[in-house]
Amino acid sequence: MSDAQVSADARLVLALACDAMPLPSTGMAADDVINTLVGKQGGDVRWKDGRTFGMIYDGGPDLHDLQERVAAHFLHENALNTMAFPSLGQMQSESVSAVAEMLHGDTAAGFLTSGGTESILMAVKAARERGRKERNITEPNIVVADNAHAAFHKGAYYFGLEMRKTPVRSDWRADPEAFAGAVDDNTVLVVGSAPAYPQGVIDPIPELAAIAAEVGANFHTDACMGGFVLPFMESLGMEVPPWDFRVPGVTSISADLHKLGYVPKGVSCILHRDKELRRYQTFVFDGWLGGFYASPNMQGTRPGLPLALAWATLHFLGREGYERLTEATIRTARRMIEGIRAIDGVAVLGEPQAHLLAMATEPGWEDRVDVFKVGDALVERGWFHDRQAPPDSLHSTVSAGNAPVIEDYLVDLADAVAEVAGQRADDRSTNYATLE
Instruction: Note the pLDDT tens digit of each residue in 361-407.
Output: 999 999 999 999 999 999 999 999 999 999 999 999 999 999 999 99
Cβ atoms of 217 and 127 within 8 Å: the answer is yes
Domains in the chain, please, with CATH? Answer: 70-315 (3.40.640.10), 318-419 (3.90.1150.10)
Residues 222, 4: Cα–Cα separation, whole Å: 36
- Describe the chain by its helix, strand, coil percentages, rounded to 5: 40, 15, 45
- Amino acid 229 reads V
Look at residue 18 in the predicted model and tell me its pLDDT: 52
CA dist., res. 192 & res. 169, Å (int): 13
* Pairing label, strands 162-166, 393-397: unpaired
**317 within 8 A of 271, measured Cβ to Cβ:** no
SS3 135: helix
Start-to-end Cα distance in the chain: 22
Nearest alpha-carbon partner for 297 in 77, 81, 97: 81
Residue 12: per-residue pLDDT: 42
Query: What's the angle, vertex CA 149, arms to CA 260 and CA 122, rounded to 5?
Result: 85
Instruction: Identify any residues that bridge with 256 across adjacent strands, giving them in sequence order.
Output: 268
Which residues, other chains included, contact 36 with Cβ-Cβ below 8 Å and sequence gap of 6+? 28
Q: What is the pLDDT of residue 55?
A: 83
Q: Using one digit for the tens of pLDDT, what is the confidence trace for 212-265?
A: 999 999 999 999 999 999 999 999 999 999 999 999 999 999 999 999 999 999
114-134 CB burial, b ≥16 within 10 A, e <16: bbbbbbbbbbbbbbbbbbeee
Tell me what pLDDT residue 216 has.
Answer: 97
The C-alpha angle with vertex 427 and arms to 386 and 332, in degrees rounded to 5, equals: 25
Distance CA 383, CA 1 (A): 17
Contact 132, 171 (CB under 8 A): no
Rounded Cα–Cα distance for residues 357 and 409 (Å): 15
Q: Work out whether strand 252-256 and strand 268-272 pair parallel, antiparallel, or are unpaired.
A: antiparallel
Report yes or no: 222 and 120 within 8 Å, Cβ to Cβ.
yes
Low-confidence residues in the chain, pLDDT < 50: 1-17, 434-435
Give one DSSP letter per residue of 185-227, joined into a string.
TTEEEEEEETT-TTT-PPP-HHHHHHHHHHTT-EEEEE-TTTT
How far apart (Å, rounded) are the C-alpha atoms in residues 393 and 389? 6
Q: What is the rounded distance in angstroms from the CA atom of residue 356 to the CA atom of residue 333?
A: 8
pTM for this structure? 0.91
